[in-house]
Amino acid sequence: MAIEDLGAEMVARHVGVEPSGDAFNSIQLQNGTNRPFNPMVNSGAITVTALLHSCHGAATFDHILDRMSAAAGRRLQVDEAVYQSERRTGHRNRAIAHLLLNFGLVHEQAEQALDVYFRQCAVLVTCHDLAMMGATLANMGRHPVTGVQVFDLLAVRSMLAIMFTCGMYDYSGEWAFRVGVPAKSGVAGGVMAVVNRQVGIATYSPRLDARGNSARGIEVCVELAARFGLHAFDCLNFGSNFLKAVL
């Protein structure tokens, strides 16, 4: 969404695309540029939210929720209790936001942008919703059931590339080796994987490993990739013919 609104060049000035090798909530920026390493860790996600807030102001969260709902194929809602908890206890994220403000990577309304970040972290989704979001990304930004073009094609390409290299925190390298598809995990226990132009996959299991990823979700995806040849470099992966082959 930030790439669509501001362009890839502007977004790249504020956030990088390199794996960090650190925990998802690390209070650390790139040496030299002082940018967050990538949009998949907290510092990068807060920066991207602030970029959207600089465009949309008070309407930012509604803008985000509308797009997330279109990707899921149904109207999503916020868990207000989770939002209030995030807002009340999110001191580490608040420290990250003010560090970013110090380096001029977020605008002066950093607290308002951070509030949007807290609220979007509390959006309720099911495992099916995650799978449909993954399928929308797999289908070049178009929801496969509703037919709505949710995301711009070039923005999807950029997003999938970053998901492939950074989406599983500091497990991303081994994920690329074992599973070999773009993915994003969350500390709630969800994992969303995208087999480009083929299928979206989602798992939900709250027990996390030391890196903040769903332990069972990873193993399920490893098994699916091995059984169906989903790895991007697997000789069994025939691109957009995969679903026909399975059916």
pLDDT for 234 equals 86
Same domain, 103 and 145: no
pLDDT for 247 equals 54
pLDDT for 168 equals 95
The yes-or-no verdict on residue 240 having pLDDT over 70 is no
Same domain, 118 and 131: no
Same domain, 245 and 163: yes
68-77 tens-digit pLDDT: 999 999 999 9
- Cβ contacts of residue 57 below 8 Å, gap of 6+? none
pLDDT for 20 equals 83
Last residue of a domain, one of 124, 147, 182: 124
Same domain, 189 and 226: yes
190-232 tens-digit pLDDT: 999 999 999 999 999 999 999 999 999 999 999 999 999 999 9
Same domain, 191 and 140: yes
Last residue of a domain, one of 70, 91, 124: 124
Same domain, 174 and 105: no
Same domain, 150 and 108: no
Average model confidence (pLDDT) across the chain: 93
pLDDT for 235 equals 80
Domain that holds residue 54: 1-124
Lookup result for tokens 């030391």 = 210
99-119 tens-digit pLDDT: 999 999 999 999 999 999 999
pTM of this structure = 0.92
- Position 132 confidence tier, pLDDT thresholds 50, 70, 90: very high
Last residue of a domain, one of 68, 91, 124: 124
Share of the chain above pLDDT 70, in %: 96
pLDDT for 242 equals 53
pLDDT for 41 equals 92
Same domain, 14 and 104: yes
Q: Are 213 and 171 in contact (CB under 8 A)?
A: yes
Share of the chain above pLDDT 90, in %: 86
Same domain, 110 and 138: no
pLDDT for 198 equals 93
DSSP assignment of 46-78? HHHHHHHHHHHGGGHHHHHHHHHHHHHTS--EE
Same domain, 103 and 20: yes
- Our count of domains for the chain comes to 2
The yes-or-no verdict on residue 233 having pLDDT over 70 is yes
The yes-or-no verdict on residue 33 having pLDDT over 80 is yes
Of 123, 101, 121, whose CA–CA distance to 111 is shortest? Answer: 101
Q: Are 237 and 197 in contact (CB under 8 A)?
A: no
**Angle at the Cα of 124 from the Cα atoms of 120 and 128, rounded to 5 degrees:** 125
Compute the Cα dihedral for 183, 184, 185, 188 and give only its sign.
negative
Same domain, 28 and 103: yes
**CATH value at residue 172:** 3.40.710.10
Same domain, 201 and 87: no
143-175 tens-digit pLDDT: 999 999 999 999 999 999 999 999 999 899 999
Task: With residue 199 as reference, give the H or E element that holds it.
Answer: strand 199-204
